[in-house]
Amino acid sequence: MKQITLLIFLLIIKISVAQHATGIYLSASDYLNGKLSYTSSKKIKLKTFFFKPYLVIYTDDSKTKLYKDSIFGYRDADKNDFRFNKGEERVYRIVENKSNVIYIADVPMLNAKGNSIQLVPKFFFSNTLTSAILPSTINK
């Protein structure tokens, strides 16, 4: 019962956090040039709760569906930039874009008892804005 309660609590938290974008980067080039599309939209819904492979852009008289694997990413209201990775549900926040690109994303993890799920921030990287996103690891 505690597991179900915790899962419901985590889902409510997930719903309550910002799930809207203020603009869309159609390509990596758009991201590099700071060119946001759909900024005058009424609302951009990311559809992150019960993952959908698309986002929806609402204007006063229409709605447009864009598939996440055909666009680069988005900017949120706090001016954080995010990247989609083809074939993945996870969204990566771009932390740094220099010689390598550093990302952070919430990853579900089991607790020490192995019976409940929590979201834990993990770091990832890619060599370029268009290359594969890989987990950061520490080699010993």
Residues spanned by the domain of 10? 2-135
Structure tokens at 108: 């579900």
Residue 140 placed within a domain: no
Residue 64 placed within a domain: yes
Residue 96 has pLDDT above 90, yes or no: yes
pLDDT reported for residue 65: 93
Phi first, then psi, for residue 2 (nearest 5°) are -65, -35
User: Pick from 48, 88, 46: which is nearest to 66 by CA?
Assistant: 46
pLDDT band at 79 (very low <50, low <70, confident <90, very high): very high
User: Pick from 52, 66, 124: which is nearest to 94 by CA?
Assistant: 124
More confident residue, 119 or 125: 125
Domain count, the chain: 1
Residue 89 placed within a domain: yes
Give the residue-averaged pLDDT of 105-121: 79
Q: Are 119 and 104 in contact (CB under 8 A)?
A: no
Chain position carrying tokens 């204007």: 59
Percent of the chain exceeding pLDDT 90 equals 51
